[in-house]
Amino acid sequence: MPRTLVKDALNATAPNDAILLQGWVRTRRDAKAFSFIELNDGSSLKGLQIIVDASLPDYVHVTRANTGASVEVHGKLVESKGGGQKWEVVATKFTVLGEADATYPLQKKGHTLEFLREIAHLRPRSNLFGAVFRVRSRLAYAVHQFFQERGFHYVHTPIITASDAEGAGNMFRVTTLDPANPPKTPDGAVDCAQDFFGKKTFLTVSGQLEGEIFATALSSIYTFGPTFRAENSHTSRHAAEFWMIEPEVAFCDLNGDMDLAEAFVKHLIRDAKEHCAADLEFFSKFVDKELLARLDFVLDKPFVRCSYTEAVEILTKSGKTWEHPISWGANLQAEHERYLTEEHFKCPVTVYNYPRAIKAFYMRKNDGEAPDRQTVAAMDLLVPGIGEIIGGSQREERLDLLKEGMALHHLDEKAYWWYLDLRRYGSVPHAGFGLGFERMLMFVTGVANIRDVIPFARTPGTAEF
C-alpha cells in the first residue's frame, strides 16, 4: 500500500478506509480505552492525530511509542470528533519502527535556539526548524522558477578556484600539501607548483566571474550554489559557508539590474506566502509578530532607490551619533544601512553609485565625475531588520578601464587573463547581482540569526555535524 503523507491526509476531501502513514511521534496521551498519538512526518507543520484503541492487538506496542519514536500506522481516515482538526486516523495496525529512549532531547516544552543549535542533527524535527527548512526548500525551487521562466540558463560555476572574485582576500585555501612538511622552493617558501592543481587554490567567494563568461555566450544566466568566506565575523548575518544566487545579464545596465533584483525578491516573498502559508503563520505567531504585515507591505510598494551620495547626506543630517563615523568615501556599515531602511525610508532601499575605491575592481566606472568623487555603477539592496541582502553592479566592459580598476585594487592582470579576454572579444554592457539565500530566508521567516536558517552553520569556531 502506498504511503500517505500527513499533509495529504489533513487535506483529504473524503474519508478513507485504508491508509498507511509513517512518521515520528510528537506526543502521546494515554486514556483508559485508547491512546492519542500526534504523528508528524515533516510534510506539514501540523501533525495528524492517531487513535489506537486498547482493544487492538497491537496496542501492546503503544507504550514503546514515546516522543521521538518512528512508527507505522495502517488505519482508517475518519472525520474527527474532537475540535482542532478535521481528520484523524483510527489505527488498525500499529508498529513501532524505532524507539526513542527517554534521553530524546526534543520534548514538548520550548527550547532555546542556542540549545537547538547544539542538537542540529535533531532540530529539523521541531516545529520551528521543520518550518524553516520547508520554506528553504520551497524558495530554492522558486529561485529556479523565477529565472527559468524568464529565459535564464542555470550555470554551475566551480567551487574550487584560483581567483578572488571580490578581491577581499578572505578565502579558504584548498590544498593537499602536508601542512607539517610542505615542499619548499629554493628560497624556502612553500612550493605551490607542487600542490594538487599546480597553483594556489581556494574555495570560491562568488561564481560571478565565471558567470560573466556564460552571460557573454548565453545572454542571461544564473548560478545558485555554496560560497565561502573566511571572514572572522561573529554577527547574526555572516556565515563562512552560505548559498548565493547570482544572475548575470548581457545587454543590461544598472537600472535593469535593480529592476531584476526587485522583481526577484518580490517573487520569492509572493511564492512563500502562497506555498508556505501555514509555516509563515507559525513564524508570525512565535518568531516575529510583524512578519506578515511587513511582507505584505514590501510586496505592495516599489522599493526606494537612493544614490550613495544622497544616503551619506541623509546619514550626516540624521543627528545620530554613529559608532562608525560616516562621510563621503566611507563604506556604509550595518548601523547606517539599518537606519536608512528601518528609520528613514521605512522600506527596502536600493543604494547605488558607490565610491569606486570601496567597491570591487569589476564594477563599471561612472562617466564624467571629479577624480576625488569617482563612483561605480554598484547597487546594494537593503531591507529592514537585516540590512544588505543583495549586492550587485553593472560590470566594467571597457578593457582599459577594467585594467585601471585592477591596478587600483592591486590585482595581477595575468591571473585574470581570461576575464580580460571577455572585454577583448565581443564585449557588451552587462550587469548582475548576488542574493544571499540565507539572508533572504531570514527576511521571509523573521528568524533573526543566520545560524538558524541554514541546516548546518559554518561560523568561526563551529563545524560540528
User: What are the residues binding ligand 4AD (CB under 6 A)?
Assistant: 165-166, 206, 208, 229, 231, 238-239, 242, 244, 246, 388-393, 432-434, 436, 438-439, 450
The C-alpha atoms of residue 394 and residue 392 are separated, in whole angstroms, by: 7
Taking the complex as a whole, the smallest distance from the CB of residue 391 to Mg ion amounts, in Å, to 3
Partner from ligand 4AD, Mg ion, none contacting 315, C-beta within 5 to 8 A by type: none
φ, ψ of residue 273 in degrees (nearest 5): -65, -40
21 sits in the region (left: phi over 0; alpha: psi -120 to 50; else beta) called beta
User: Residue 433's binding partner, choosing from Mg ion, ligand 4AD, none, with beta-carbon cut-off 5 to 8 A by kind?
Assistant: ligand 4AD
Instruction: Give the per-residue SS3 of 85-117.
Output: CCEEEEEEEEEEEECCCCCCCCCCCCCCHHHHH
Taking the C-alpha atoms of residue 157 and residue 314, their distance in angstroms, rounded to an integer, is 39
In sequence order, the 6+-apart residues with CB closer than 8 A to the CB of 241 are 226, 227, 228, 454, 458
- Report if residue 429 touches Mg ion, rule: CB under 5 A: no
| Cβ 388 to Mg ion shortest distance, Å | 6
CB 384 within 8 A of CB 342: yes
10 or 239, CB closer to ligand 4AD? 239
- Order of strands across the sheet that contains 160-161: 160-161, 201-203, 173-174
Q: Cα–Cα distance between 393 and 380 in angstroms, integer?
A: 8
How far apart (Å, rounded) are the C-alpha atoms in residues 307 and 303?
13
Quote the least distance from Cβ 347 to ligand 4AD, whole Å. Answer: 18
- The entry of Mg ion, ligand 4AD, none near residue 341 (CB within 5 to 8 angstroms by kind) is none
Query: How near is the Cβ of 437 to ligand 4AD at its closest, in Å?
Result: 8
Task: Pick the binder of Mg ion from 75, 207, 348, 391 (CB under 5 A).
Answer: 391
CA angle 235/236/237 to nearest 5° reads 90
88 or 337: whose CB is closer to ligand 4AD? 337
Nearer to ligand 4AD, 38 or 166 (CB): 166
Dist CA 377 CA 328 (whole Å)? 16
Residue whose CB is less far from Mg ion, 211 or 391: 391
Residue of closest CB approach to Mg ion: 391
Q: Which does 348 bind (CB under 5 to 8 A by kind): ligand 4AD, Mg ion, none?
A: none
CA-based nearest residue to 393, from 407, 383, 381: 381
Q: Which CB, 123 or 439, lies closer to ligand 4AD? A: 439
Task: Give min distance, CB of 415 to ligand 4AD, in A.
Answer: 17
CA-CA-CA-CA dihedral for 261, 264, 266, 269, to nearest 10? -130
- Least CB distance to ligand 4AD at residue 246 (A): 4
- By the 8 A CB rule, do 82 and 51 touch? no
Residue 68 within binding range of Mg ion, rule CB under 5 A: no
Count CA within 13 A, CB hemisphere, residue 440: 30
In whole angstroms, give the CA distance from residue 157 to residue 442: 25
The number of helix segments (H) and strand segments (E) in the chain equals: 12, 16
**Min CB(438)–ligand 4AD separation in Å:** 5
Q: What is the DSSP letter of 58?
A: G
Quick check: 264 and 146 in contact, CB under 8 A?
yes
Question: 446 is in the binding site of which of Mg ion, ligand 4AD, none (Cβ under 5 to 8 A by kind)?
Answer: none
Look-up of cell digits 544622497: 310
CB of 219 to ligand 4AD, least distance (A): 16
**Of residues 94 and 133, the one with the C-beta less far from ligand 4AD:** 133
Pick between residue 35 and residue 206 the one whose CB is nearest to Mg ion: 206
**Nearer to ligand 4AD by C-beta: 138 or 458?**
458
Least CB distance to ligand 4AD at residue 371 (A): 26
Q: 99 contacts which partner out of Mg ion, ligand 4AD, none, CB within 5 to 8 A by kind?
A: none
Nearer to Mg ion by Cβ, of 384 and 391: the residue is: 391
Cβ proximity to ligand 4AD, 239 vs 444, nearer residue = 239
Binding-site partner at residue 244 among Mg ion, ligand 4AD, none, CB < 5 to 8 Å by type? ligand 4AD
Least Cβ distance, residue 6 to Mg ion (angstroms): 41
* Chain contacts with Mg ion (rule: CB under 5 A): 391
